[in-house]
Amino acid sequence: MHYRDRLEKICLLKRDKFTFIQKITMRKYAYPFIALFALFTILTCDAQQKKSAINYGSNKAVGKYITTRGTKFYYEVYGKGEPLLLIHGNSGSINNFKYQIPYFSKYYKVIIADSRAQGKSVDYGDSLSYEMMADDFNAILDTLRVKSAYVIGWSDGGINGLLLALRHPEKVKKLAETGANLIPDTSVFASAGNAFMEMSIKELNSQPPSKETKNQLKLIHMMQIEPNIPSASLRKIKCPVFVIGGDHDVIMPFHTLEIYDNINEAYLWIVPKSGHATLQRYHDEFNKKVHDFFTQPYTKPQWDDWDK
């Protein structure tokens, strides 16, 4: 069941519960605070329904297209302020950031696009690479006349963010990335991740040939042979980077640590009790920490930072 459907069902159940309380409990005991609590619950559900009413990734009120580098990219913009670019993961879409857009649009001009060959940014070409996608985002920012932006990247979006900082350093003020990897070697993936990838390929190959299945196989194939970013090259990144990963991420924590170790100005956050979806499972904490990272100057703590 979709998140919004579950929410509506919960709210309806709570409305029914309130009606029951009115008819039975209040008539018998006449406790005003029960009615007040039930009313608050209903109003909270109504507010949540209104808040989640925006269909990010299919919002006709703000959705637009940019044609650049031979592809028509779908994008949406929310809020005002300093530009913030959000980049989703493999086979994802704008909607993956449904917990981030409402929060960050209060402080930034949030720019988010469906990556090449994903979401509404259709590209049935044979070639696809992370470098190609990093250059896509550079071109999108150029088209929108954005000289530089804060960047949040998840999974493949984190890889794209690292490459954007390497290939177009003037475009990235600060980067927060979660769940990125530098190499496609199976040693940096949890065993369940490798098994999932093989299962996905087998399932796609069993389906009748189509443009859609060919496109999905292209995306998975890219993950099997890329990225190929030498860890030492990360030392060329000029902007501060917030390196994030789950302690049970599909990307092994030791590899996340390797990324952190090779960036000159970096912070590290290994999220306890988290898999790959750090920004969804712990969205409130994620949003606040990343916002603090963007707004506060980078400082390197001293190792002996105890009270003197």
- Ordered strands of the 241-246 beta sheet: 64-68, 71-78, 108-113, 82-87, 149-154, 172-178, 241-246, 266-271
CA distance 249 to 45: 32
Please enumerate in sequence order all residues whose Cβ is within 8 A of that of 270, keeping only pairs 6 or more positions apart, or say none. Answer: 244, 245, 246, 247, 253, 256, 257
Q: What is the pLDDT of residues 217-274, one digit of tens each?
A: 999 999 999 999 999 999 999 999 999 999 999 999 999 999 999 999 999 999 999 9
Q: What is the pLDDT of residues 159-201, one digit of tens each?
A: 999 999 999 999 999 999 999 999 999 999 998 888 888 899 9
With 90 as the cut, is the pLDDT of residue 5 above it? no
Beta bridge mates, 156: none
Backbone phi, psi, residue 126, to 5°: -80, -30
In CATH, 64-295 is 3.40.50.1820: yes
pTM value is 0.82
Count the neighbouring beta carbons within 10 Å of the beta carbon of residue 281: 15
Residue 259 token pair = 């990324």
